[in-house]
Structure 1
Amino acid sequence: MVTTPPIRIGVTGTHSTGKTLLLRRIEMELFALDIAVARTGQLGRRAALVPLPKMQHHTADSTRWVIATGIADEVAAAARPVGDTPVRVVLADRACWDAIGYFRAAQEWSGCTTHRTEREALHRLAAANPPYDLLLTTVLDPHLPVRRKHDYDPRYRQLVDHHTHALLREENLPHLRVTSDPASQQRAVDRAVQLCRAVTPV
């Protein structure tokens, strides 16, 4: 029996730029259309429980864990039905390329460099994941305040934004930029919903 793989929508971008909220909005829209959807996430929190370094302290090992675990989460989400209904859409909160953007930023922030073979191995691991049907990339707005509970290093946050967008350009990965403007966010939600409605039986 041949089954159609689910649509995969990923999001990438620096921290506290609305990635999770964006996917939640898409998830709610799809639920309203009775489209079976699964969402992955919380990779940073789970990495800290291992424990592995995160943010500006990311290493090749922690990056490898994030990429591999994220890919495994996507595979599991696609295989796990919602009730009796096969999953038709997987929303990846932190697409696999996200981890490399964070890693590159950590390297620049700390002034460290990892051996070329290690960097290439991480790249191959991310590239092994099938392309996303839609890749959304948030854009940092440095003027927006961050919640007080988040003690982020502002320089590292900006470096992640820079390296994430640079990486997507280098790899020629089609993506939709999503700014903090509500109209931009709504366009991203609409684009995702239209894609799912066009190729998913409702």
Structure 2
Amino acid sequence: MVITHRSIRIGVMGTHSTGKTLLLRRIERELFARDITVARTGQLGRRAALVPLPKMMHHTADSTRWVIATGIADEVAAAARPVGDTSVQVVLADRACWDAIGYFRAAQEWSGRTTHRTEREALHQLAAANPPYDLLLTTVLDPHLPVRRKHDYDPRYRQLVDHHTHALLREENLPHLRVTSDETSRQHAIDRAVELCLTETPV
């Protein structure tokens, strides 16, 4: 079966434990209620650890390359996968491809390591090769909100990821919607996603 339509792609990025996955799950539920077929990608960090590859503060150029490439491949596969007699209309990417570069840059600053310019440029080129998202959501860190006890995160690294993520978006001039921890902001993001999908998905 050859899929010829173009799926709507919605990506989310931001530092860890800022509600990225929960946000996409809420969007997925809203779309499902409107009979829009959805595929969601994710768990890249967990899968990288199983390879095994370094993650979080220990990210390297190689692990970052793997995350970007695997995330892009997941999005392509999700869009191509038939759902019964229909096709996937919307792909929700949990960790848009640019997200890995924010984590990598934060790891470099956190550890004091440096990577050759050609390596950094190659990572940017790889992420830029992915077509732009129809909607890119970016969570904003609220350092005052508690993190679940099961997560032993380094608070400085978490803040560095937030800083580098938003700096990267400005540098690359990537259109995006900032999503704070406020419920009004999150509902606005969900409404924007639903409105986009209702308008743009093929009938």
Is the pair's TM-score, using the shorter chain for normalization, greater than 0.5?
A: yes
Whole-angstrom CA distance in 2 between matches of 1:165 and 1:84: 40
Structure 2: runs of 5 or more not aligned: none
User: How big is each residue's C-alpha offset from its partner over 1:133-188, in whole Å with a ceiling of 9 and x where there is no partner?
Assistant: 00000000000000000000000000000000000000000000000000000000
Residue 9 (structure 1) aligns with: 10
Q: Structure 1's 40 and 2: CA in aligned 2 closer, same or farther, altered over 3 A?
A: closer
* Deviation of the 1:84 alpha carbon: 1.8
Residue 194 (structure 1) aligns with: 195
Residue 19 (structure 1) aligns with: 20
Q: For the aligned residues, what is the CA RMSD?
A: 1.1
Is 1:10–1:95's contact at 8 Å kept on the other side of the alignment?
yes
* Deviation of the 1:49 alpha carbon: 0.2
Say which SS state the counterpart of residue 30 (structure 1) adopts.
helix
Whole-angstrom CA distance in 1 between matches of 2:202 and 2:58: 44
* Deviation of the 1:201 alpha carbon: 4.2
User: How big is each residue's C-alpha offset from its partner over 1:87-144, in whole Å with a ceiling of 9 and x where there is no partner?
Assistant: 0000000000000000000000000100000000000000000000000000000000
Residue 160 (structure 1) aligns with: 161
Whole-angstrom CA distance in 1 between matches of 2:70 and 2:116: 23
Whole-angstrom CA distance in 2 between matches of 1:94 and 1:10: 7
Residue 109 (structure 1) aligns with: 110
Residue 135 (structure 1) aligns with: 136
Whole-angstrom CA distance in 1 between matches of 2:146 and 2:65: 31
Deviates more, 1:80-89 or 1:13-22: 80-89
Structure 1: runs of 5 or more not aligned: none
Say which SS state the counterpart of residue 63 (structure 1) adopts.
helix
Say which SS state the counterpart of residue 174 (structure 1) adopts.
coil
Whole-angstrom CA distance in 2 between matches of 1:27 and 1:56: 30
Corresponding residue pairs, total: 202
Residue 30 (structure 2) aligns with: 29
Whole-angstrom CA distance in 2 between matches of 1:83 and 1:93: 23
Amino acid at match of 2:20: K
Whole-angstrom CA distance in 1 between matches of 2:106 and 2:200: 37
Say which SS state the counterpart of residue 98 (structure 2) adopts.
helix
Say which SS state the counterpart of residue 96 (structure 1) adopts.
coil
* Deviation of the 1:2 alpha carbon: 8.5
- TM-score after normalising by structure 2: 0.98
% identical equivalent positions: 89
